[in-house]
Amino acid sequence: MDSSVILQIIVSGALMGLVYALIAYGFQLTYATSKSLNFGQGELVMFSAFCSLTLQDWGVPYWLMVPLGLIIGAVLGLVVEHAAVRLALEQKSEGWILLTIIVGLFAFSLAENIWGRDDRPFPTPIPSDSFNVFGIDITWTEVSVAVGVLGIMGLVELFKRRTLLGKAFDAVSADRDAAELMGISATRTVMLSYGLSGMVAALAGILVSPITTVGPTMASAIILKAFSVAVVAGLNSGFGVVVVGLALGAIENLASLYLGSGWREAPGLVLLIMALALRPNGIFGKATIRKV
Amino acid sequence: MLKVENLYAGYGGAEVLNGVNLEVKQGTVVALIGANGAGKTTTMRAVSGMIKPSAGKVTLEGTEVEGYSASRIARLGLSHSPEGRKVFGPLTVEDNLLLGAYRQLPRFFGFKAKAQVELEKVYALFPRLKERRLQHAGTLSGGEQQMLAIGRALMAQPKVMLLDEPSMGLAPVIVQEVFATIRRLKEAGITLLLVEQFAKSALEVADYAYVMERGRIAVEGSPAELQKDERVLSAYLG
Amino acid sequence: MKRFLLVRGAELLALLVLAAIPLFIKNPFALGLLTLLAIYGILLIGLDVTVGYLGQVNLGQAGFLGIGAYTAGLLVANCNAGLFTSLGAAFLICLVLGALLALPALRLEGPQFALATLSFGALAVTVLNEWEDLTLGAQGLSIDRPTLFGHPLDAAWFYWLCVVLLALVWLGMKNLLSSQWGRAFEALRDSPIATDAMGVGTYRHKVIAFAFGSALGGLAGGLYAFNFQYLQPQSFTYELMVILLLGVVLGGRKNLWGAVVGAAFIVLLPNLLSNPMLFRAFSLLGFAIAAFAVIRTRSLRFQTLAPVIAMGMLVVGSFTVQHTEDWRKAIFALMLFSVVVGLPEGLMGYAGKVLSKLFRVPAAPLPEASNLDDVVPMQQVNDNVLLELRDLKRHFGGVKAVDGVNLKLTSGSVHGLLGPNGSGKSTAVNVISGLYAPTSGQMMLDGKELPYGSLYRVAGAGVARTFQNLQLFSELSAIHNVMVALRDTYKTPWPLVLFGFARKEEHKAKADALALLKLVGLEDQARTKAKDLTYGAQRFLEIARALARKPRLLILDEPAAGLAHPDAHHLVEIVKRVHGRGISIVLIEHHMDVVSALCSTVTVLDGGQVIAEGTPDEVKRHPKVVAAYLGAAA
């Protein structure tokens, strides 16, 4: 096969992989502070994408819709935290796994009934034509994905490093008890992490909707890949998710090319299982010390 | 400033505290000593909110705080430097200190400027921390981590400070430094409740002391009185 | 006799009722539902192994159902395989795949495990869909039901086949769970650390449990294929998985009856939803139960309030929604939510509690305690060095917890390890027992290098220990705690255990455990759950459990911590008795009187290093020790 075609496929795939990275980043945010994550995150992406679509249907211009959509995402994240996570954390159990799945299921059904089961196009002012760089065609949509993902990850990282609240975030991840002794409320920090995670997921939805169209099942495929990226990169490392996301996106496209489109899903899933077998804490993650 | 009345607390099945009574008056250093397993650290934890007491009262400057969450009690002006230090490993020394003042600083920006005065005070007290300001706390030695924990607790200008086993796991030379620091803090007028397994050093620096045994106060008094008390000595070396 | 009647009687009755049904009910639809009930019963029992007994969220069971179904179906369609061959193959293939999946997945807990199983489920469906040459993919695969020894299986006969298989699975699981396997599963759930330290490989048990549960899923899959006689990959997706979880949780986890009740619920669910009157009645009932709970406990906490809100939404939905089919997932979600939050033990779990209050089922009588000499044989004592530590170091980042410790323990002695908090005693002992690997240095047991970094392997080498912070199996009874740890006692291979051939072994194990309980004075509390024992009794139980390992070296980590005077006295007696059997002991203690009464040699640590060594009296007066404990003068 022509090498420029392969390169094209790799680059296009990699850029899409950034979406997985973004959602995986959301997982890291909540896992860092609470050792939990939202198993229904795909439904959150989908639900917020539908809300954003509705906003546009009501005439809200795109550039206003985006921040509103992010706020909606944050609110949804808080709902998940309150309904599905808080109780389990208080009981020091892992009940949140099942509960977030349940909340996601409910959201799915709700979305089906409010907006119907068909896929709908997502209007966007970003042109779909492409331009050529070093022999590879890149669409403006793909550029927007890259800009959006890296932009928001950069902003959140900046928040974590430059604001006191952000440092408090890291403190709760490092040692919850000690953070409480500083007057940092661990519960509020967990709420914040879920809000941020929801916001990030909403952006992922907005970025990817023009490509996948908006429908109840839009995120079910994406979410598994995001899980793979999160586990392979490790649930502690911010930078790792970007690398793994790019890699997975590229590999998936190659799999689709050589094996057939139905096999797209396979690499992510196999990667996940292999990563768990070989490096349980992820390539970039760290193990923890037990105390007896 | 801090009053503990008839405090009961425990973990799971075991009730460790069986009615603890103690008081820390403003501007004094009070030592809580006793053999290991007597319940000293549990007392600290029950006071600062890390664990919830099952019965009894804890009063901080007139406010009853038993049952409050740890972060709430901290915001009311109590600083607890916990057993084992518990510094934030992945964060820098300076970040650890800044977080110590969390409850008084602006949450987003401008916190560094506001904390500057307190920060400089802590650096003056612990020059070695200043040298290592940008180092990750997890890479510091045990003694340096203890300095950091104390400095962190001081950053919020607390009304009462709880210092739990500062000498634990430290070489004797470093322990001397720690107690020198405590003496300097005492001169500056701090209100401090000190839990120590090294009775002798604790008694030298305290204004008043309580001896714990099996979850309650067995003996109390001024250091001079206690140093002559045979029971105190026997509680340690059998 | 009463016990037999109550427990076995109920099971037999249920079985007889199930078996008799086709004689009275000829309606094929009803029979079909009951057949499906039996099939899902097997499936959920398999799922409950991981969800109930291991306490993990397993999202792959629907995948195993599909793999089993296609395996059996394809063997019949393409190779003309017989009934038992195809079912057997489905069972075995899922057993192997389950083990392969478990090997990586079970190294981790919680969320990562759920993710791994979720991926596996998705992967299974993808493969089934894409491998069209074999499975015909989305078009679907038609299967003829095989014959049973030439006899065609009509609705009634197929039903009986399913019921018989369910009964066999039930019996097998009961045998398995009342054997060492069942105890091991509970133990590793309560304290994986102690489980490894007591020589029961946590990991391998989890893998076997998971593989077995998956195999049951495969078996159910084979029956599923022959039931519907038509297969499509889309049937085995995530939505089915959630329904299965609903069944297990609603029925009751860790409970065979719960699995079957849950299966009944799943099977009847579509009928429940399609009938508006029934649905409304059901939601009102659920709402009433949830509201009742609030009134009874008078609390408005999330735990009681949330189910009320969820069931309330269900009631509103039942009256306003036109097509319940469209809202199916939301309805499941609300039901599952209410159960997980409000009734976590499930219907049968709750019923079990109520029933045990109404009917006192007398426990099976305990055997006579074995002779202690058989359980913990007297050991040879000589003057050799049993344990030697050479320049042992363990660092955590910048903190040097253990920094060059040298120690020689003479065989048959009680060797004390003392030092202030933070001196490195517990870390040293954690390194010896295998919780941590040493940073550098050597450890020798009886001249041979001690395995490091693995509690399980060190336990295998003849070292047993107790823990500073108790690590009992809190939900197990005292006698079961000890039985888990018994060394060289459980030799029956697991297939024989399934068929109930482990009874004699069990009897001896009970007798041996009882002897150990007698040694520490707990024989009267053999049946009490560990978490319900007094603190002192719990400490003694840990010692009895460690002795079940027949150790050469016993490590006691602050056994007197928190003990009142009389208990501390009793502890000294127990340790003397243990010592009298020639077992070498490392004793970490703070209570000087305990140390003086028991130890022949004492090593004192401070700041990770040895500062003194000698008899208790020598060490007490050593200036460095005095300084370390009381604090040096400024």
Instruction: Give the CA distances from residue A165 to residues A112, B111, C535, C563, in Å, rounded to whole numbers and listed in that order.
Output: 38, 10, 42, 44
How many angstroms separate the CA atoms of B120 and B126, rounded?
10
SS3 label, residue B198: coil
Question: A236 to chain C: which residues are within 8 Å by CB?
Answer: none
Smallest CA–CA distance from B44 into chain A, residue: A181
| Mean pLDDT for chain C overall | 87
* pLDDT band, residue C3 (cuts 50/70/90): low
**Could you tell me which residues come within 8 angstroms of residue C135 by beta carbon, excluding any fewer than 6 positions away?**
C70, C74, C128, C129, C141, C233
Backbone angles phi, psi at C402, to 5 degrees: -125, 125
Q: Do A108 and C105 touch (CB under 8 A)?
A: no
Q: H/E/C letters for each residue in A40-99?
A: CHHHHHHHHHHHHHHHHHCCCCHHHHHHHHHHHHHHHHHHHHHHHHHHHHHCCCCCHHHH
Q: What percent of chain B clears pLDDT 70, i.e. is strictly above it? A: 95
Q: Do C120 and A269 touch (CB under 8 A)?
A: yes
How many angstroms separate the CA atoms of A120 and A213, rounded?
6
* pLDDT band, residue C631 (cuts 50/70/90): low
Nearest CB neighbour to A174, from listed B79, B90, B111: B90
Instruction: Give the CA distances from residue C96 to residues B210, C177, C532, in Å, rounded to whole numbers and listed in that order.
Output: 64, 21, 40
Question: A191 to chain B: which residues are within 8 Å by CB?
Answer: none
Q: Do C328 and A109 touch (CB under 8 A)?
A: yes
**Could you tell me which residues come within 8 angstroms of residue B143 by beta carbon, excluding any fewer than 6 positions away?**
B170, B171, B174, B177, B178
- Alpha-helical (H) ranges within C389-533 are 425-433, 455-460, 478-485, 494-498, 503-520
Domain boundaries, chain B: 2-86+158-237
Tell me the pLDDT tens digit for each residue of A75-127.
Answer: 999 999 999 999 888 887 888 998 999 999 999 999 999 998 889 888 888 88
The confidence score (pLDDT) of residue A103 equals 94
Distance, CA of C628 to chain centre:
44
What interhelical angle do C503-520 and C478-485 show, nearest 10? 110
Smallest CA–CA distance from A278 into chain C, residue: C104
Tell me the pLDDT tens digit for each residue of C80-135.
Answer: 888 888 999 999 999 999 999 888 777 777 787 888 888 889 889 888 888 888 87
The confidence score (pLDDT) of residue A283 equals 61
Sign of CA dihedral C485, C487, C491, C493: positive
Of A3-17, A36-50, A147-161, A171-185, give the lowest mean pLDDT range: A3-17
| Helix-, strand-, coil-residue percentages of chain B, each rounded to 5 | 40, 25, 30
How many angstroms separate the CA atoms of C234 and C241, rounded?
12
Question: Kind and range of the H or E element at C276?
Answer: helix C276-297
Which residue, among A158, A161, A169, A182, would best test binding to B if mutated, counting the most B CBs under 10 Å from its CB?
Answer: A182
Among C515, C552, C465, C443, smallest CA distance to C191 is for C465
Q: Is B90:A32 a contact under the CB 8 Å cutoff?
A: no
Burial A150-182 (b: 16+ CB within 10 A, else e): eebbeebeeebeebbbbbbbbbbbbbbebbbbb
The answer, for C302 touching chain A at a CB cutoff of 8 Å, is: yes
Question: A277 to chain C: which residues are within 8 Å by CB?
Answer: 103-104, 107
Question: B14 to chain C: which residues are within 8 Å by CB?
Answer: 535, 562
Q: Do C245 and A98 touch (CB under 8 A)?
A: yes
Question: A224 to chain C: which residues are within 8 Å by CB?
Answer: 118-119, 122
* pLDDT band, residue A285 (cuts 50/70/90): low
Q: Which residues pair with B22 in a beta bridge?
A: B4
Smallest CA–CA distance from A188 into chain B, residue: B71
Tell me the pLDDT tens digit for each residue of C351-375.
Answer: 888 887 887 766 778 888 888 888 8
Question: B108 to chain A: which residues are within 8 Å by CB?
Answer: 163-165
| Mean pLDDT for chain A overall | 86
Q: Which chains touch A (3 or more CB pairs under 8 A)?
A: B, C
* pLDDT band, residue B238 (cuts 50/70/90): very low
Domain boundaries, chain A: 3-278
Question: B170 to chain C: which residues are within 8 Å by CB?
Answer: 422, 607
Residue C234 above 70 pLDDT? yes
Smallest CA–CA distance from A287 into chain C, residue: C108
Distance, CA of C509 to chain centre:
19
* pLDDT band, residue B237 (cuts 50/70/90): very low
Min Cα separation C469/chain B (Å): 10
> Two tokens at A12?
């296009």
Q: Do B172 and C628 touch (CB under 8 A)?
A: yes
The confidence score (pLDDT) of residue A282 equals 64
Among B93, B72, B223, B79, smallest CA distance to B164 is for B79
Of B15-29, C135-149, C384-398, give the lowest mean pLDDT range: C135-149
Residue A288 above 60 pLDDT? no
* pLDDT band, residue B233 (cuts 50/70/90): low
Which of the pair, C40 or C324, is modelled with greater confidence?
A: C40
Q: What is the number of other CB atoms lying within 10 angstroms of the CB of residue A64?
A: 11
**Could you tell me which residues come within 8 angstroms of residue A217 by beta carbon, excluding any fewer than 6 positions away?**
A46
Q: Do A185 and B49 touch (CB under 8 A)?
A: no
- Architecture (CATH level 2) of domain B2-86+158-237: 3-Layer(aba) Sandwich (3.40)
For chains B and C, count residue pairs whose Cβ atoms are closer than 8 Å.
99
The confidence score (pLDDT) of residue C461 equals 93
Tell me the pLDDT tens digit for each residue of C202-230.
Answer: 888 889 899 999 999 999 999 999 998 88
B132-135's contacts with Cβ under 8 Å and 24+ in sequence apart are B132/B93, B133/B92, B133/B93, B133/B94, B134/B92, B134/B93, B134/B94, B135/B92, B135/B93
Smallest CA–CA distance from C424 into chain B, residue: B169
Q: Do C398 and B168 touch (CB under 8 A)?
A: no
The confidence score (pLDDT) of residue C630 equals 55
Q: Which chains touch B (3 or more CB pairs under 8 A)?
A: A, C
Nearest CB neighbour to B168, from listed C421, C564, C590: C421
* pLDDT band, residue B56 (cuts 50/70/90): very high
Question: A227 to chain C: which residues are within 8 Å by CB?
Answer: 115, 118-119
Q: Do C422 and B214 touch (CB under 8 A)?
A: no
Q: Do A184 and B90 touch (CB under 8 A)?
A: no
Q: Is B177:B205 a contact under the CB 8 Å cutoff?
A: no
Question: Kind and range of the H or E element at A236?
Answer: none
Q: Is A145:B37 a contact under the CB 8 Å cutoff?
A: no
Nearest CB neighbour to C340, from listed A95, A277, A280: A95
Q: Is C86:C67 a contact under the CB 8 Å cutoff?
A: no
Count Cα atoms within 13 angstroms, Cβ side, for C433.
28
* pLDDT band, residue A289 (cuts 50/70/90): low
Q: Do C633 and B204 touch (CB under 8 A)?
A: yes
Q: Which residues pair with C395 in a beta bridge?
A: C400
Q: Is A278 exposed, middle or buried (0-12, 13-18, 19+ CB in 10 A)?
A: exposed
Smallest CA–CA distance from B84 into chain A, residue: A178
Residues of B engaging C, defined by a Cβ cutoff of 8 Å: 13-14, 16, 35-37, 83-84, 89, 138-142, 144-145, 165, 167-172, 175-176, 179-180, 196-202, 204, 214, 236-238
AA identity, residue B6: N
> What is the pTM for the complete model shown?
0.85
The confidence score (pLDDT) of residue A290 equals 56
- Architecture (CATH level 2) of domain A3-278: Orthogonal Bundle (1.10)
Fold for the domain defined by C377-475+537-630: Rossmann fold (3.40.50)
Nearest CB neighbour to C104, from listed A108, A112, A273: A273
Question: Kind and range of the H or E element at B125?
Answer: helix B111-125
Instruction: Give the CA distances from residue C64 to residues C54, C71, C118, C441, in Å, rounded to whole numbers and listed in that order.
Output: 18, 10, 12, 48
Min Cα separation A6/chain B (Å): 41
| Averaged pLDDT for residues C161-186 | 90
Which residue, among A86, A163, A172, A181, would best test binding to B if mutated, counting the most B CBs under 10 Å from its CB?
Answer: A181
Min Cα separation C124/chain A (Å): 10
Tell me the pLDDT tens digit for each residue of B58-87.
Answer: 999 989 998 899 999 999 999 999 988 899
**Could you tell me which residues come within 8 angstroms of residue A34 by beta carbon, excluding any fewer than 6 positions away?**
A85, A89, A190, A193
Q: Is C75 exposed, middle or buried (0-12, 13-18, 19+ CB in 10 A)?
A: buried
Burial B102-129 (b: 16+ CB within 10 A, else e): bbebeeeeebeeebeebbeebbebbeeb
Q: What is the number of other CB atoms lying within 10 angstroms of the CB of residue C345?
A: 17
| Averaged pLDDT for residues C427-442 | 93
Min Cα separation B157/chain A (Å): 12
Count Cα atoms within 13 angstroms, Cβ side, for B68.
22
